[in-house]
Amino acid sequence: MSVLVTGGAGYIGSHVVRLLHQRSEPVVVVDDLSSGLLDRIGSSQFVQLDLASPEATQVLAKTMREHKVTAVIHLAAKKQVGVSVQQPELYYEQNIGGMANLLAAMRETGVDRLVFSSSAATYGMPDVDSVTEESACSPINPYGETKLIGEWMTANATRAWGLRASNLRYFNVAGAGWPELADTAVMNLVPIVFAALRAGRTPVVFGDDYPTADGSCIRDYVHVHDLAEAHLSALDYLERDERKFATFNVGTGAGSSVFEVLNEVKRVTGIDFEIDIQPRRAGDPPSLCADVSRIEQELGWKAKQGLPEIIESAWSAIS
């Protein structure tokens, strides 16, 4: 009996794999290693596979049978918003095509439990600062669209053949649960600022004229270790018969502005760096925070760490 983790060699996926190992769950990781690192997955069984490839459904079904898979945690996806705007076909092929192949293999083998890595990007630019799972979903880029479509796919599989699924809408993930699992991609604020400081460059703030307290954008930063724990709670949630389908925001419920993040970086690093204020970045909502009452009530999950622990763990992982 094992758990199949797609994208398990990635930054977030490897934290999920580590926690599964800690509770002695056998794991099989499926990853194309396009951004994942094999040395992150420890003793897991491993299958290298592009989920969007023609043979994917067959290979996945064979893997599920061989490893007696009982549940899937699906994190494998392309997740760069900017790239998704320039290459939407790649994002539809990978994120939607890959998901379709995974669901086909699960249906074929009778694996009926799925935790799906969704995103706050499904909300787009909401007109409220704190969003509940019932808030309108109007994604503003192909990446966010693929995550919302992925949620529709899980809902339709639940209706069509009895899949039991939890969709997790990640807010802004950062930090490191273990130094060796730190985020090696430089695609989001925290790693971007660290990379600038280590290269002797000035960190950039995209816009200080937003309608927020200090003029910079507000986001809900959640520690990757807390996020990984939410995946195991979501998996356990599906054990009870009456629980067949649910969508959860995964954040802290508290927002931090870009300037607040930078001030935390100054405190942790001891570097009193200059800041380069640039014009706003297209597609940035002024504020996007999670209402986390549903995940707290239904899963009993609540983030344990805040911005200080996020910045401290991320910095110590690269220092």
Report d(CA 4, CA 17) in Å as an integer.
9
Q: Is 217 in the site for ligand WQD (CB under 6 A)?
A: yes
Query: Residue 207: how many CB atoms within 10 A of its CB?
Result: 17
Q: Which of 17, 96, 157, 205 lies at the binding interface for ligand WQD (CB under 6 A)?
A: 205
Report d(CA 101, CA 96) in Å as an integer.
9
Q: Mind giving me the DSSP string for 76-106?
A: -----HHHHHH-HHHHIIIIIIHHHHHHHHH
Query: Which residue, 108 or 129, has its beta carbon nearer to ligand WQD?
Result: 129
Query: Which residue, 192 or 197, has its beta carbon nearer to ligand WQD?
Result: 192
**Which of 11, 91, 123, 143 is flagged as catalytic?**
143
The SS3 assignment for 40 reads helix
Residues that contact ligand WQD, how many (by CB under 6 A)? 18
Q: Report the nearest approach of ligand WQD to the CB of residue 161 (Å).
A: 28
Residue 157 Cα distances to 25, 59, 232, 268, 298, angstroms: 25, 20, 21, 46, 22
Pairing of strands 204-206, 45-48: unpaired
Q: Is 105 in the site for ligand WQD (CB under 6 A)?
A: no
Which sign does the torsion angle of CA 284, 286, 289, 291 carry?
A: negative
Kindly indicate which of the ranges 9-17, 20-28, 199-207, 304-312 contains the residues binding ligand WQD, using the contact rule CB under 6 A: 199-207
Q: Is 81 in the site for ligand WQD (CB under 6 A)?
A: yes
Binding residues for ligand WQD restricted to 235-294, rule: CB under 6 A: 258, 281, 284
Site map (CB under 6 A) of ligand WQD, residues 118-137, x = contact: -xxx----------------
Whether residue 143 lies in the annotated active site: yes
Comparing CA positions, the residue from 221, 223, 207, 203 lying closest to residue 271 is: 203
Q: Which of 46, 206, 245, 273 lies at the binding interface for ligand WQD (CB under 6 A)?
A: 206
Q: Report the nearest approach of ligand WQD to the CB of residue 64 (Å).
A: 26
Q: Is 16 in the site for ligand WQD (CB under 6 A)?
A: no
Do 248 and 167 touch, CB atoms closer than 8 A?
Answer: yes
Kindly indicate which of the ranges 51-59, 89-97, 115-123, 305-313 contains the residues binding ligand WQD, using the contact rule CB under 6 A: 115-123
Q: Is 313 in the site for ligand WQD (CB under 6 A)?
A: no
CA 124 to chain centre: 16
Active site residues: 143
